[in-house]
Amino acid sequence: MKLERRAPLRELRRGGRGQARNRAGAAVLEWTTRAPSGRFTVEIVPRPDDGDWTAAVLAAIERPGAPAVGLASISSVHWSDGGVVDMDRVGAALCRQGAMLLVDATHAVGVMTIDVRSLDPDFLVFPTYKWLLGPYARAFLYVAKRRQDGVPLEQTSYGRRAITSERESYYRDTEFVAGARRFDMGERDHFISLEMASIGMEMMAQWGCDVVQERLRVLTARLADELRNGGVTIPDAAVRAPHILSVQFPTGMPERLIERLAAERVYVAPRVGRVRISPHVYNDEEDIDRFVATFRRLACS
C-alpha cells in the first residue's frame, strides 16, 4: 500500500498481546508484507490490562514524538475478547493527523449501529456469516468516494468498462469502471449465497440493532453474573461489546475444555487463551443456564 504522507509513517493495527494472531490476521500480514516497499512501519497496539481498547488506541495514535499515522486498521469489536472501540473518538483523532481509517466491522454489523456517513471511514468491511445470519464466502466492502479510484485486488472483466466475450472485439475498453464496483470479488454472481446474505441482512435490519443489542446484552450479563465467581476473569461491561463475553483463566485454560464442552453440545471458541462466548438471537435463558452448569462442572472439576 502506498501511503501519500510524509515519512516515516506508521500503520496502526489493533492486535492482541502485541502479536498478529487473529482471524483478521490477513490484514496484519498484508501490511507487514508491504511495509518495506511502502517505506512505512507497522505498529500493533497490545491488549490493555484494563480492557480499555479505546484508551489504548488513542494513546498509540497520539503518543508524543511518534511518527504520523498513515493508516489505522482497526476491528471495532475485538475478535478475541469482545472489547469495543469508540470509533467516533478514534476517527476524530485520526482525522487530526490526516490518517486513513480501515474498519473491520466483522463483530459489530448486525448488532451495533454503524453509520458511515458520520464515521466517514476510508474503508469498512464485514462478512455476513457472523452476526448477520448469512452464508460463508460473502462479505461487503464500503469504500469512501475519495478512495474509489484504487486498484482492486482481483482483476475481473466486469471491473472494466467494456470487456465482453460476446463480441469479436474483446478488450474494447480496459479502464476500470467508476465507483466501488471495481472492487467486486470474482464470481460475484453466485445467486444462492447473495439471496441468503440478503435475507439475513434484511431480517436483522427489520428487527433493528437496538432490539437485538438489548436482547444479547441481557444474555451476556446473565452469563457474566453466573460465571464471575467461578475462578475466571471477565472484562467489565463498560469496555466490552454487549453481545460477546470473553472468559480468561488466571491459571490457564483447563486441558481440553473446548473439546469436552463440544462433546456435550456446548460450542464456544478458544481465542488466545480465552473462551469467547457469543450468543445470538436464537439463544435463550435456558441455553445460558445449561451452558453455565456445564461450564462449571467441566472447568472447575
Say whether the peptide bond before residue 8 is cis (omega within 30 degrees of 0): yes
Render the burial of 157-174: b for 16+ CB within 10 Å, e for the rest. Answer: eebbeebeeeeeeeeeee
Residue 7 clears pLDDT 90, i.e. is over it: no
Q: Using an 8 Å Cβ cutoff, are 102 and 91 in contact?
A: no
Q: Nearest to residue 100, comparing CAs of 83, 79, 119?
A: 119
**pLDDT band, very low/low/confident/very high, at 56 (cuts 50, 70, 90):** very high
Length of the chain: 301
Element (H, E) at 67: none
Residue 4 clears pLDDT 70, i.e. is over it: no
Residue 103 clears pLDDT 60, i.e. is over it: yes
**How far is it, in rounded angstroms, from Cα 253 to Cα 123?**
36
Element (H, E) at 179: none
Strands (E), 37-192: 40-45, 68-75, 100-104, 123-127, 139-143, 160-163, 171-176
Residue 261 clears pLDDT 80, i.e. is over it: yes
Q: Percent of the chain at pLDDT above 70?
A: 87
**pLDDT band, very low/low/confident/very high, at 29 (cuts 50, 70, 90):** confident
pLDDT digits (tens, 9 = 90+) for 206-233: 999 999 999 999 999 999 999 988 789 9
More confident residue, 235 or 158: 235
pLDDT digits (tens, 9 = 90+) for 143-185: 999 998 888 877 887 777 676 766 666 676 767 778 887 778 7
DSSP-derived 3-state class of residue 49 = coil
- Write out the three cell numbers for 44: 500493533
